[in-house]
Amino acid sequence: MVRVISFISIKGGVGKSTGILNTAHALALMGYKVLVIDFDFQRSISDNFGVHNDDLNIYKALIDECDINDCIFEDIRDNLDLIPSHNQLYFAPDRFKQLYFDGEDYVLRQKLKKIEKNYDFIFIDGRSEINSLFKNVFLACTDFIIPIRVEFMGMRAIKYLFEIISKSHHRPHFIGFLLNDVNKRRKATGEIINYLEKERKKDLLKTRIPSSTKIQEAFKNKKTVLDYPLKTRGHQEFLDLAKEIIKRIQT
């Protein structure tokens, strides 16, 4: 069965897009068939892969102006496909209400049924705002990860996020908290790790993504850190994360 995974947060700047991009590439390198859906109208992942198409994109598929199968750009990397976004996705919540009435939060979930059999993993990169786009991503997921950039504001946002999730009838599997941009020299890093190890230890992923200029450099250069040599800071960590995800969804 395909696993549909998103990195979910209600706070920007926590590393959702880079996390999805690098994790998806790591799984593809391990031989899994992976699809990434850019569900953010700012199109950062589409930009990263250099894929833009005004006629074939997730927005056009959702409003039935094209078939979602035709929106798949294959082999962006070996075993890794992409459905790009479009800036018109910003207007999607209003269009969904016009087209789907009471079902506007389930549009993505329904569309994925046409393609999910072709993949081992589907990653969805969405927005942080709580609206119909956020709900479409959450309701389409079988699993989710919460990335945490090590700062206390992030913890407050996480508590609020769980309040929102608890009100939903949909219960995707929580893979765990991912500590991102970890720098042990920062005081806040140690404080947050200590808090999570005490209060949510079983939910805390062992893999921690280090603070690394190479991860951001790769993203800006339309690459992933997996395109860099293995010794590059962040490369091995994303391979480890991919293995840990597999282990957690199998238990």
pLDDT at res. 65: 94
Task: Name the least confident of 8-22, 72-86, 183-197, 210-224.
Answer: 183-197
> In the chain, what are the domains?
3-250 (3.40.50.300)
* pTM recorded for the entire structure: 0.93
CB atoms within 10 A of CB 31: 10
pLDDT at res. 93: 82
Residue 155 pLDDT class (50, 70, 90 cuts):
low
Residue 200 pLDDT class (50, 70, 90 cuts):
confident
Structure tokens at 12: 């920007």
State the chain's mean pLDDT as an integer: 90
Q: How do residues 48-98 score in pLDDT, each as one tens digit?
A: 899 999 999 999 999 999 999 999 999 999 999 999 999 999 988 888 878
The average pLDDT across 186-198 equals 70
Task: State the SS3 of the chain.
Answer: CCEEEEECCCCCCCCHHHHHHHHHHHHHHCCCCEEEEECCCCCHHHHHHCCCCCCCCHHHHHCCCCCHHHHCEEEEECCEEEECCCHHHHHHHHHHHHHHHHHHHHHHHHHHCCCHHHCCEEEEECCCCCCHHHHHHHHHCCEEEEEEECCHHHHHHHHHHHHHHHCCCCCCEEEEEEEEEECCCCHHHHHHHHHHHHHCHHHEEEEEEECCHHHHHHHHCCCCHHHCCCCCCCHHHHHHHHHHHHHHHHC
The average pLDDT across 31-54 equals 95
pLDDT at res. 141: 96
Residues 6 or more apart from 75 whose CB is under 8 A from it? 81
Q: Does residue 187 have a pLDDT over 70?
A: no
